[in-house]
Copies of this chain bind each other. A is one copy, B any other.
Amino acid sequence: MTVHMEKTLPLFMETIRKIKSYEEALGVLYWDLRTGAPRKGMDARSEAIGNLSGDMFKLQTSEELGANLADLERPEAFAQLSEIEQRLVTETRKDYDRSVKIPPKLYQEYVVLAAQSENKWEEAKANNDYAAFQPYLEKVIDYTQQFIDLWGAKATRYDTLLDQYEPGMTTAELDRVFGGLREQLVPLVSAIAESPHKPDTSFLQQTFSKAAQKDYSLFILGQMGYDFEAGRLDESVHPFATGLNPGDVRITTRYLENDVTSALFGTIHEGGHALYEQNIMSELIGTPLCTGTSMGIHESQSRFWENVIGRSKPFWERYYADLQQRFPGQLTVPVDSFYSATNVVEPSLIRIEADELTYNLHIIIRYEIEKLIFNGGAKASELPEIWNAKYKEYLGVEPASNAEGVLQDVHWSGGMFGYFPSYSLGNMYAAQIADTMERELPDFWSLVGRGELHPIKDWLTERIYKYGKLRTPSELINAVTGKSLDSSYLVRYLENKYKQIYKL
């Protein structure tokens, strides 16, 4: 190692570890805000978050960090770095360039705009008034277009946005996988809608004690191998998982007395996110590689646990009795009926209430619209009409109002374009990974049926979790499954499952 590098590498490491410390602190501040921080402290808290975020941004964009990066990127220096160090340099360079390419003044204007726009969206949704929101959405799109110009367009302009959440993902690839998905799922959804067999869900219309729900949530998390010495379960209005570091990965859920499945599947979902973050190798702690490699892969883990495992028949053959026991006299239907009732498919208008199958069509609609905006020149004024037409075409339903149509999601108001595809990428990755797991883990479904979930967690740890951001999403899916992303696994999984439930 050259004398030069002996100085640069520790300085570089010190800076990225310090950035991670700020992320940890900000993570706790946000977690706290969402789990019971008192209302009247909001202003001071916002100021604290603003000041810390500003100081973190200074660290992330400092000339010193730029100089250290440039020094470590010299071919003769880079060659001497370990694999982890090389990835750290590459990853930090990517973040650094993304941050320094936006002039601070432009970024500040945008932050203010995004906050106003989110407020306006909330109002507009409540009043079903798209016209009031449209000018804000136009401005948010306009700023996003400027960011694409500054960052540089990839193969298409929308690809630049996708890359933020799913590194390396392209419009071309999404067209391929979402195209296949849409073609297969639209007829399946129609067939289900027309099936005379409808699972009976009436027994779910009861009041279920919150305390018992909480007890069961804790029990299931333990069964999944969630480490309570490296996390905690709290309540919040919108469930979430936050990985401060692998030794502190917190999840929240929400207990609804009139819906026993909400907290149940919500907890398993967030638990899946948490298992990923709890099991990242210790060598990555304190670095930007100590997190999931992409939103799509992260979502594959929450959805693998929630849907593939948690909504499977073997899972309930094992765990239904434990659930019944916690609600004496309330869950008297046989396990098959419970299984069917928690897997009802119904084309609907609202994404966050959608089932595992139709969910993907909600996402494809949003993907196609985002692509139209950034690659096709669609205007904000045209979106309600485009939205409604696509819902009619893919799901056979039409929003009666923009509030339950184009205004339903918060994402666009805050400029989160390119994020939606992650949800269905997660479903596709999950099904593809499950296919490999079924072949490689002996008696996979018997394990689930016996409640031996730890070998499954261990398998995922060895193949996925431990790497954190050390592998890109496409490296990972290829290494785990031997193939690049392929929508046919998800199609096959959904067809097998739902043709059986709906007797098609």
User: Which residues of the other chain, B, contact A246 by a CB distance below 8 angstroms?
Assistant: 40
Contact of B244 with A44 in the complex, beta carbons under 8 Å:
yes
Contact A24 B40 (CB under 8 A): no
Q: Which residue of B lies closest to A32 (CB)?
A: B28
CA distance A119 to B446 in the complex (A): 50
What's the minimum C-beta distance from A64 to chain B, rounded to whole angstroms?
15
Q: Does residue A17 face the partner (Cβ distance < 8 Å to B)?
A: yes
Q: How far is the CB of A48 from chain B (nearest CB, A)?
A: 4
CA distance A42 to B246 in the complex (A): 11
Chain B's closest residue to A31 (CB) is B32
CA–CA, A50 to B246, complex, Å? Answer: 19
Chain B residues with CB under 8 A of A38 = 228-232, 247-248, 250
- Cross-interface CB contact of A244 among B41, B250, B285, cutoff 8 Å: B41
- Would B247 and A42 count as touching, CB distance under 8 A? yes
Closest to A50 in B: B21
Interfacial chain B residues near A250, Cβ < 8 Å: 38
Is A230 a contact partner of B44 (Cβ separation < 8 A)? no
Q: Which of B24, B44, B55, B286 contacts A248 (CB 8 A)?
A: B44
Q: Contact between B286 and A45 (Cβ–Cβ < 8 Å)?
A: no
Residues of chain B within 8 A (CB-CB) of A21 are 47-48, 50-52
Q: What is the oligomeric copy number?
A: 2
The complex places the Cα of A133 from the Cα of B25 at a distance, in Å, of 34
Most buried by B among A32, A41, A45, A227: A41
Question: From residue A36, how far is it (CB to closest CB) to chain B in Å?
Answer: 6
A residues lining the B interface (CB < 8 Å): 17-18, 20-22, 24-25, 28-29, 32, 36-45, 47-48, 50-52, 55, 227-232, 244-248, 250, 285-286
Q: Do B41 and A248 touch (CB < 8 A)?
A: yes
Q: Is the interface of A mostly helix, strand, loop or mixed?
A: helix
CA distance A318 to B387 in the complex (A): 64
Q: Is the CB–CB distance between A37 and B286 below 8 Å?
A: no
Given contacts A24-B45, A45-B248, A48-B21, contact A229 B40 (CB under 8 A): yes
Say how far A442's CB is from chain B's closest CB, in angstroms. Answer: 31
Identify the closest chain B residue to A36 (Cβ). B232
Contact (Cβ within 8 A) A22 B52: yes
Instruction: For A52, give the chain B residue with the smallest CB separation.
Output: B25
CB distance from A470 to the nearest CB of B (A): 18
Q: List 14 A-B contacts (CB under 8 A).
A: A17-B51, A21-B50, A21-B51, A22-B48, A22-B52, A25-B25, A25-B29, A25-B52, A36-B232, A38-B231, A41-B247, A42-B247, A45-B244, A47-B286
| Cα separation A47 to B244 with both chains bound (whole Å) | 12
Rounded to whole angstroms, the CA-CA distance of A344 and B153 in the bound complex is: 78
Q: How far is the CA of A40 from the CA of B44 in the complex (A)?
A: 30
**A210 CB to closest chain B CB, in angstroms?**
15
Residues of B within 8 A of A286 (CB): 44, 47
The closest CB in chain B to the CB of A248 belongs to: B41
Q: Give the complex CA separation of A40 and B277 in angstroms.
A: 13
Give Cα A51 to B23, complex, Å. Answer: 11
Question: Which of the listed residues A32, A55, A245 has the most CB atoms from chain B within 10 Å of its own CB?
Answer: A245
Residues of B within 8 A of A43 (CB): 247, 285
Extra A-B contacts (18), CB below 8 Å, given A18-B55, A20-B48, A38-B230: A17-B51, A21-B47, A21-B48, A22-B48, A22-B51, A22-B52, A24-B44, A28-B29, A36-B232, A37-B232, A38-B228, A38-B247, A40-B227, A41-B245, A41-B248, A44-B245, A44-B247, A44-B285
In the bound complex, CA of A433 to CA of B45 (Å): 34
Q: How far, in angstroms, from A229 to B24 measured CA to CA in the complex?
A: 26
